[in-house]
Homo-oligomer: A and B are copies of this chain.
């Protein structure tokens, strides 16, 4: 599906398919648990099993709230620079 959004600045570039927009006006989560008003997850840190567990902050993971490495594809496709939060037992 698609959403209606307003931008502070929109300009036309060389073709109909390229626009200049400010990312600030955009949502960051297009797909995950959209029926929830606010997606909040909790981790009881004493229950972590592995030495390091990666949690997603790009909202593109197929195993959200865990990171599955999808931030790599997202960064390449968009020029973004996001990555996970690593929870370490020590």
Given B4, B9, B89, which contacts A18 in the complex, CB threshold below 8 Å? B4
Of B11, B40, B84, the contact of A84 (CB 8 Å cutoff): B40
Q: Is A62 an interface residue (CB 8 A)?
A: no
Tally A residues with Cβ within 8 Å of B.
63
| Interchain CA distance A13-B45 in the complex, whole Å | 47
**Contact A87 to B3, CB < 8 A, known contacts A27-B78, A59-B82, A81-B37:** no
CB contacts (< 8 Å) of A24 on chain B: these are 30-31
The residues of B that contact A57 with a CB separation of less than 8 Å are 56-57, 59, 85
A46 touches B80 (CB 8 A): no
* Minimal Cβ-Cβ distance residue in B for A71: B38
